[in-house]
Amino acid sequence: MNLKTQFTNDTLEEQLREIVCDQQKELKSLRASIELLKNSVAEEQEAKYRAYIKYADLQKEYNGR
């Protein structure tokens, strides 16, 4: 017999509490993933913008010669 079965009452309320706890953990994990993805997308967009600016500057320099 494990501790869970020994010390928890196996009622519907307890089962629902466990489900809610698991869902909260998953939600927290998903929110962290979303935040990571937002930051990754922002960094990628910034890098693309900087690359485009560099490209435009090089085009001006090349056409100015």
In angstroms, the CA 55 to CA 48 distance is 10
- pLDDT tens-digit map of 42-56: 999 999 999 999 999
Q: Is 11 left (phi over 0), alpha (psi -120 to 50) or beta?
A: beta
pLDDT of residue 45: 98
- pLDDT tens-digit map of 17-38: 999 999 999 999 999 999 999 9
The pTM of this model reads 0.66
CA atoms within 13 A on the CB side of 24: 6
Any idea how long the chain is? 65
pLDDT of residue 64: 81
What integer is the mean pLDDT of 2-6? Answer: 65
Q: Domain map of the chain by residue range? A: 11-64
